[in-house]
Amino acid sequence: MLVHIGSIINKKTVGKYAVPAFNTQDLETCEAIARAGEAQRAPLIMQTSVGALEYAGVEELVGLMRTVARKSKAPIALHQDHCHDFNLLKKLVNLGYSSVMIDASHLPYQENLKLTKAVVHYAHKRGVWVQAELGRILGSEDWQNVKSGQDLMTDPIDAAKFVAETRIDTLAVAVGSMHGIPVNPKIKKVLSTLKEHIDLKRLRAIHEKVKIPLVLHGASGVPDTQMRAAIRLGVAIFNIDTDLRVAFNKALRQNLKKHPEIYDPRKLLRPAADALQQEAEKKIKLLKANGKFIHLERK
């Protein structure tokens, strides 16, 4: 069923379990995610990047997501991820997303504040949640230009001020996780010494000062123990993309190699989608979101 994000993320859920926000861009991914939610009786968020909307077309992908979500037994909320474009966000609010992210984290603080406030004003009037980012969550490839990751992390005092002034509903925090996986060998080498890990001390300090649900981006590759600790420290949503893609691609490649005679794309895509579903189910269990249909039904 298509639900509002507010019905799956609330005061009762924060600190106990978290909801995965899985990226999608096509039919196979949408259906595999929904199947994972049904199999694990878990609420979840289906989200799009700007790149995914460009790839599939806004109306096409939103139509697909809405249909899959509506037909699913799993409670599914739609969210737009990292977006700089206010006009695109307006369009998505009116197409049925219940949550959008205005990512102005690349702008100076005052400009981030101004743009975020304007989006909140627009979205809240229409009953839609807004997520914003303070600090910079980098892609792993960006680390070559960074001297110290600490400089880019979310400051707990700034975060409290930002949340109070903007009245956003969820906050994306920069506490050490990174988007994607490094492909450049030079960066791979640097990262093998850095290791992706969460600054739990900083996360605790943010959680003490900020009373809205926190979002951890770049959750692929974060060690399981740190994911679990982050839930206890107020992370209510984990954004996961790369790990699902890797599972899909691995199965697709293996199948292509094993069965060079297959020419029907459906026979190649289905096992890949099944692998993506299995990975999504693993993440759901890690976040303890499995079986939480019951929790929602009793609410």
Task: Scan residues 4-33 and list those touching ligand G3H (CB under 6 A).
Answer: 23
- CB of 244 within 8 A of CB of 29? yes
Task: Scan residues 134-173 and list those touching ligand G3H (CB under 6 A).
Answer: none
Among 28, 81, 103, 199, binds ligand G3H (CB under 6 A): 81
Among 35, 66, 79, 179, binds ligand G3H (CB under 6 A): 179
Which residue matches tokens 């190649």?
Answer: 268
- 3-class SS of residue 5: helix
Nearest CA to 210 out of 189, 233, 191, 237 is that of: 233
Q: How far is CA 147 from CA 144, 178, 197, in A?
A: 8, 15, 17
By beta-carbon distance, which residue lies closest to Zn ion? 217
Closest separation in Å from C-beta 279 to Zn ion: 18
Closest separation in Å from C-beta 217 to ligand G3H: 3
Q: How far apart are CA 40 and CA 36, in angstroms?
A: 6
Query: Residue 175 is encoded by which pair of tokens?
Result: 């506490």
Write the DSSP symbol of residue 155: P
Q: How far apart are CA 56 and CA 110, in angstroms?
A: 34
Burial of 266 per CB tally in 10 Å (0-12, 13-18, 19+): exposed
Among 33, 113, 203, 240, binds ligand G3H (CB under 6 A): 240
Q: Is 239 in the site for ligand G3H (CB under 6 A)?
A: yes
Q: How far apart are CA 129 and CA 19, in angstroms?
A: 16
180 is in an annotated binding site: yes
Q: Is 241 in the site for ligand G3H (CB under 6 A)?
A: yes
Q: How far apart are CA 94 and CA 63, in angstroms?
A: 13
158 is in an annotated binding site: no
Query: 176 is in the binding site of which of Zn ion, ligand G3H, none (Cβ under 5 to 8 A by kind)?
Result: none
**Closest CB to Zn ion among 133 and 279?**
133
Encoded one letter per residue, x for contact with ligand G3H by CB under 6 A and - for no contact, window 185-214 reads ------------------------------
Q: Is 131 in the site for ligand G3H (CB under 6 A)?
A: no
Residue 12 region by backbone torsions, left for phi larger than 0, else alpha for psi between -120 and 50, else beta: alpha
Q: Which residues are catalytic?
A: 81
Closest separation in Å from C-beta 222 to ligand G3H: 8
Q: Is 220 in the site for ligand G3H (CB under 6 A)?
A: yes
Query: 15 is in the binding site of which of ligand G3H, Zn ion, none (Cβ under 5 to 8 A by kind)?
Result: none
The binding site for ligand G3H (CB under 6 A) comprises 23, 81-82, 179-180, 217-220, 239-242
Binding region: 82, 103, 133, 179-180, 217-220, 239-242
